[in-house]
């Protein structure tokens, strides 16, 4: 896999090292200049060295995971596909179908997308994954938004637009050291960012087929996202129908847990691959509020990528993820 020193990348190394059906052949950095380094937190789990990127080091890999910046993924994925690898990409490079939007948000990505590119959540449209050459994983925020609304939007239960107000831990800002990621700038604080301009907005709109206003916030914790989504039910839709749609959509989704009386909290999903979902309907106004929580490094990144790997290889959904 490539990008082993980032926060998501380290989780992926941890998962692959313990996956009974995977053999982690190489863990590389996302630069050809990276010095070899170990991952002290993973000692005894994975005692290898992360080395500089080179496609040759991946020669024996059937499947290559890319957990890298999108510009790097955009070019290396094409190269790796040409070399015959299948690729699971965690970056945003291949997520948008619309060429104009892709050119705006991911300018390094080739047009058209490589043949065999599939953008898919394991809980929806999984059937198309086994034949994919390049699996593009949804972003952490879109994963939360899609798991929150897809069962309803696909069933035609919604109208109008949606607002996704998301609260994310700081690991979501990446491992780069900056004023934005400094401890003292975030401890005891909350900050909104990317209003009306975050690149996850078009991804959500593409998946949900409705206009989305998306506002991410940084909250002072390490791992986890809580997304509060506001939507409106189509005329005549009842709370019972909402519940049935969720039950039907996730009847066989091991990693989606529908919360009952208690609303979801990040605490219950941090360090797991679960996404917990709760909701409330205001019958008088048709307003719907959905609360979804997941670990941005697992269900929002490395864990979901392993689910894709399981789909590609025919393993059970949970394999290596419990």
Q: Which residues bind a copy of itself (CB under 8 A)?
A: 7, 18, 40-41, 43-45, 163, 165, 167, 169-171, 175, 177-179, 181-193, 195-196, 211, 213, 215, 217, 219-224, 226, 228, 230, 254, 257, 259, 262-263, 265-268, 270-271, 274, 280, 282, 285, 287, 289, 291, 293, 322
Residue 240 carries which DSSP code?
A: H
Cβ-proximal residues to 3 (8 Å cutoff; 6+ apart), any chain: 9, 28, 29, 30, 65, 66, 67, 68, 72, 90
User: DSSP string covering 200-225, please?
Assistant: HHHHHHHHHSS-EEEEEEE-SSSS-E
Q: CB burial class (10 A; 0-12, 13-18, 19+) of residue 314?
A: exposed
Q: Is 5:38 a contact under the CB 8 Å cutoff?
A: no
* 226: three-class secondary structure by DSSP: strand
| Contact criterion met (CB below 8 Å) for 144 and 295 | no
Q: List the Cα angle 162/255/280 in 5-degree steps.
A: 40
Please confirm, yes or no, whether 313 is among the known catalytic residues.
no
Half-sphere exposure (CA, 13 Å, Cβ side) for 16? 26
* Closer CB to a copy of itself, 165 or 244, in the complex: 165
**Cβ-based neighbours of 201, under 8 Å, separated by 6 or more:** 212, 213, 214
Judged by CB, which is closer to a copy of itself: 108, or 221?
221
Smallest distance, a copy of itself to C-beta of residue 176, A: 8
**Quick one: 158 or 291, whose CB is closer to a copy of itself?**
291
Nearer to a copy of itself, 7 or 94 (CB): 7
Q: How far is the CB of 266 from a copy of itself (least distance, A)?
A: 4
Cβ-based nearer residue to a copy of itself, 161 or 244: 161
Q: How far is the CB of 180 from a copy of itself (least distance, A)?
A: 8
CA angle, 202 then 206 then 211, to 5°:
70
Residues 14 and 45 sit within 8 Å (Cβ to Cβ): yes
Taking the complex as a whole, how short is the minimal distance between the CB of residue 24 and a copy of itself, in angstroms?
Answer: 15
Closer residue to a copy of itself, CB minimum distance, 157 or 226: 226
Least separation, in Å, of the C-beta of 270 and a copy of itself?
6
d(CA 246, CA 226): 18
Active-site residue, from 61, 140, 275, 313: 140
Smallest gap from Cβ 229 to a copy of itself, in A, equals: 10
Q: Given strand 63-66, what is the order of strands in its sheet?
A: 63-66, 86-89, 134-136, 117-119
Tell me the catalytic residues. Answer: 140
């Amino acid at each position: 896999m490539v990008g082993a020193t980032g926060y998501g990348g380290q989780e992926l190394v941890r998962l692959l090292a313990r996956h009974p059906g995977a053999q982690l052949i190489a863990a590389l950095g996302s630069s050809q200049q990276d010095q070899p380094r170990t991952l002290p937190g993973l000692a005894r789990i994975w005692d290898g060295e992360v080395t500089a990127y080179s496609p040759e080091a991946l020669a024996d890999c059937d499947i290559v995971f890319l957990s890298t910046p999108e510009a790097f993924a955009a070019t290396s994925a094409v190269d790796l596909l040409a070399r015959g690898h299948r690729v699971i990409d965690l970056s945003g490079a291949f997520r948008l179908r619309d060429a104009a939007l892709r050119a705006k948000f991911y300018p390094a990505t080739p047009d058209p997308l490589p043949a065999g590119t599939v953008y898919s959540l394991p809980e929806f449209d999984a059937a198309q994954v086994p034949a994919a050459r390049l699996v593009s994983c949804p972003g952490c925020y879109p994963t939360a938004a899609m798991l929150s609304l897809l069962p309803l939007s696909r069933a035609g239960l919604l109208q109008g637009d949606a607002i996704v107000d998301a609260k994310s831990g700081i690991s979501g800002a990446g491992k780069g050291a900056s004023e934005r990621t400094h401890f003292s700038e975030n401890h005891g604080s909350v900050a909104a960012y990317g209003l009306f301009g975050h690149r996850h907005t078009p991804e959500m709109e593409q998946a949900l087929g409705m206009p989305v206003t998306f506002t991410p916030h940084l909250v002072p914790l390490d791992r986890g996202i809580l997304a509060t989504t506001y939507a409106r039910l189509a005329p005549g839709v009842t709370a019972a129908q909402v519940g049935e749609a969720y039950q039907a959509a996730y009847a066989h989704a091991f990693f989606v847990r529908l919360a009952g009386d208690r609303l979801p909290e990040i605490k219950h999903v941090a360090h797991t691959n679960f996404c917990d979902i709760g909701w409330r309907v205001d019958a008088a106004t048709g307003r719907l509020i959905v609360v979804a929580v997941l670990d941005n490094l697992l269900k929002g990144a490395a864990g979901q990528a392993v689910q894709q790997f399981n789909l590609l290889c025919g393993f059970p959904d949970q394999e290596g993820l419990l």
